[in-house]
Structure 1
Amino acid sequence: MLRWAPGWDCSHDSVLFDARSGDYWLLSSDGRTVIEWLLAQPAIAREELLGRLAATTAEGEELLGNLAAAGLLTGVIDGMPAHLPPGLDSDQ
């Protein structure tokens, strides 16, 4: 169960907490946007995410890679969620 910390007046960054494990992540505004998209639409193609991100950042590939490495993104294999291994080439 993911929860957002209250926002800060001095920063556009956000803190996201996992209420079950106690883990937390500091996310950029673009990172928060991706997580919010995925909370609203859990299954979305990587290319669609990159297309949406293109309007706000040229670093979309890196951002998705960082979110995957942090364990915040999963892939789908045969219809089942699968964690993406760190360093996975985005074309695989």
Structure 2
Amino acid sequence: MISGSSPFDGLPMFASDQDIAVAIVGKKAAGDWLKTRFPAIEKAPGFPKVDPLHGGRPVPLVKLFYDTYLHVPKAGRGMPDGEENEGAWKRSRQKA
């Protein structure tokens, strides 16, 4: 999400598969996605199981699964702010 928000932010800590599907593909596509795609993703390594005590899947773990699946960088590990390469810039100017 470009704005920094996540579609999972509005969900409770444990959510139904329907609610998770809406967060992932939107309300219009959720029903079809649950029937055609969800059975495969549900079996993927790392996708959380339904917690029997809470009756839903743990949303933080679903989000972690998708962050890993989509190779989303962890906070604080994005682009360097420039200080890390400061020496490299000085060296190249000194050679010129």
Report the TM-score when normalising by structure 2. 0.30
Counting helix residues as a fraction of each chain, which structure ranks higher? 2
Larger RCO, structure (CA 8 Å, separation 6 or more): 2
Could you say which structure has the larger radius of gyration?
2
